[in-house]
Structure 1
């Protein structure tokens, strides 16, 4: 009996030591993570400037993610998701990302080409039944998915303003026919397809209709089941679901006043809600094109094609397929920016260095926050490039 008691005591002591070792190990690991962040000059700089910029520009909150070597290095939350309740921004806070929606929706459209439902260079209009491009002096047969995704299809309607949440949405056909409140402009040809770069949210609305007709599914449902869930983007949706609303930031106008969320018929062009974690993961995949993580959503060679420039370009812009080339501060990056009332976002990638910065803001003045953050990132990137030479 004494032997049994002594054995039990020994076993208990052993377990206690093992548990304490595990606790100290985890604590040490967390401490190391904290030390790494607090000693990362870029993290510290963005933390300080971000807090100042959000307050100065009536932007309650921001979420920032840094990509290094093709992986998420860190995520930083700044300020408030909601001012009245003092609810802080977290990595799980939902933001609308405006026209960055086009970048993600392009993955859905390109998946159609991999499934052989659509050819990149076939005329789009004959594949539609619910709506057709209006007759024009320009050649409608030259409007292809490749040109739509690269803003070289010659189509009208730069962007969309959306509607207040709770209002009845237009159908896709009504939107394409120009019944939107913001501009009342039909989607039609304004130049010969393939002759110039001209940004067109209207083109992405045509592509949204094409996807729905080819799959017999709503755009939202198709993107959820075929893009978001396979990629592990569980907190992304082209609709304001009850779950999304529960975790959403509040949108604020340029004066810092709360505004209602905007809802969009033209979801592919401007209607995506997501978190910084989901969007940063998407950025990782755009850089690494890791087949295992892509989970057969797209082939790596398809993403590589999307990230290559499509001619023609101009002084006004240059695009791949969904991805845009940007040239802020004389540095060429790949990605997109997005603006809707109460929201502002930016995603910049530098493929050669496998680097990126993503910033989401819940304020109309968000560009006054993300642009200085971009400048800080660019400064460190240039320093790293110079050092590596």
Structure 2
């Protein structure tokens, strides 16, 4: 690990391995802050980014269990503060289920981080296409990764016809959760998910934390901090210890123990269509999760990434195996992808 960090010019990383639905190993390497030489530890906060979508999906299923909505409801039925812009497509076809599975035909709207000095910009603003001006490093990053700048959030193709990864869709879901529950998304998740799982180091408001990792980019250069505009799409900061607790909860959810009923978990993990393909692996879109088949067993996972950060959790519920990793660099893909492949091959062999 130390050699890999050095070869890829990465500051720090932390890994947790899970067997039988329980953490069996946690390791931390490198620095959370290169300037001060502060080391990364089990309680250091890293940005989970899009892993937050799995939490958002569980929050929606909690409201379904309470009878507040149905997955196939048009999302606008449950929105009080925002509406989709006029469109040639039927708004009624933009359902909660399709938004959770990125099949609602809604624009990606990457929700770039909000730069310092623009704190008044809200999620509603972001849905309407109002964002802070890009910093120079954001311009370079978005061009390098060919990220869409297709705001405001709107319907761009017929709902249900195909996959398009959409942060904007999860922005809509966040507004729905808040309108139905009467509380902020951050408060709902903290009380209903973080607290029951003992995730005491997880938060949406990390910047005053003394053990917060700093973000880095190419050649180990320090990145700026940005405020996440959409908490449901990518706002959670967490430690490797807490992320492992969440991954263990995912493994144990199908038994009906924990956050949701077994029936709700089956609904959560049921594919609604194809997602992206990576090499010869075809991913399927579940609700706030991605899944694929490996050696006859299904995998549930989500990764996260933005300027300065990378993260991944991946579990095989049928065997109880899991892998979690957090990194404070946006250059970490060539590092973590071979590692998780090696972990998978260690368990199941090459397939």
User: TM-score, length-normalised on structure 2?
Assistant: 0.88
Q: Which moved more, 1:223-232 or 1:277-286?
A: 223-232
Per the alignment, residue 25 of structure 1 pairs with none
Matched residue of 2:218: which SS? coil
Is residue 373 from structure 1 mapped to residue 335 from structure 2 by the alignment?
Answer: no
Per the alignment, residue 260 of structure 1 pairs with 224
Pick aligned residue for 2:179 from 207, 213, 225: 213
| Deviation by residue 1:109-132 (Cα, 9 ceiling, x = unmatched) | 211111111211111113212110
CA distance in 1 between counterparts of 2:41 and 2:214 reads: 13
Is residue 163 from structure 1 mapped to residue 102 from structure 2 by the alignment?
Answer: no
**Per-residue deviation at 1:300?**
3.0
1:312-327 aligned within 5 A: 317-325=283-291
Per the alignment, residue 233 of structure 2 pairs with 269
CA distance in 2 between counterparts of 1:143 and 1:329 reads: 35
**Per-residue deviation at 1:350?**
2.1
**Per-residue deviation at 1:263?**
1.1
**Per-residue deviation at 1:329?**
12
CA distance in 2 between counterparts of 1:63 and 1:166 reads: 32
Question: Tell me, which stretches of 5 or more residues in structure 1 are unaligned?
Answer: 1-49
Q: 1:53 to 1:235 in 2, by over 3 A?
A: same
CA distance in 2 between counterparts of 1:326 and 1:251 reads: 30
CA distance in 1 between counterparts of 2:60 and 2:314 reads: 22
Is residue 127 from structure 1 mapped to residue 89 from structure 2 by the alignment?
Answer: no
Bigger helix share: 1
| Deviation by residue 1:190-216 (Cα, 9 ceiling, x = unmatched) | 111112111111100000000111112
Per the alignment, residue 118 of structure 1 pairs with 69
Pick aligned residue for 2:270 from 289, 304, 308: 308
**Per-residue deviation at 1:67?**
1.1
Per the alignment, residue 280 of structure 1 pairs with 244
Per the alignment, residue 43 of structure 1 pairs with none
Pick aligned residue for 2:51 from 100, 107, 111: 100
Is residue 201 from structure 1 mapped to residue 167 from structure 2 by the alignment?
Answer: yes
User: RMSD over aligned Cα, in angstroms?
Assistant: 2.4
Judge conservation of contact 1:196–1:314 (CA < 8 Å) in 2: no
Aligned length: 332
| Deviation by residue 1:196-243 (Cα, 9 ceiling, x = unmatched) | 11111110000000011111211111111122112211111122253x
Greater length-normalized contact order (CA 8 Å, ≥ 6 residues apart): 2
Per the alignment, residue 174 of structure 1 pairs with 125
Q: 1:259 to 1:158 in 2, by over 3 A?
A: same
CA distance in 2 between counterparts of 1:114 and 1:198 reads: 27
Matched residue of 2:219: which SS? coil
Per the alignment, residue 213 of structure 2 pairs with 249
CA distance in 1 between counterparts of 2:117 and 2:301 reads: 31
CA distance in 2 between counterparts of 1:159 and 1:331 reads: 32
Pick aligned residue for 2:157 from 183, 188, 191: 191
Per the alignment, residue 62 of structure 1 pairs with 13
Per the alignment, residue 364 of structure 1 pairs with 330
**Per-residue deviation at 1:312?**
5.5
CA distance in 2 between counterparts of 1:77 and 1:203 reads: 34
| Deviation by residue 1:125-170 (Cα, 9 ceiling, x = unmatched) | 1321211001111111011111111111111025232123564142
User: TM-score, length-normalised on structure 1?
Assistant: 0.79
Judge conservation of contact 1:348–1:356 (CA < 8 Å) in 2: yes
CA distance in 2 between counterparts of 1:86 and 1:114 reads: 47
Question: Tell me, which stretches of 5 or more residues in structure 2 are unaligned?
Answer: 135-148
CA distance in 1 between counterparts of 2:323 and 2:215 reads: 22
Judge conservation of contact 1:67–1:357 (CA < 8 Å) in 2: yes
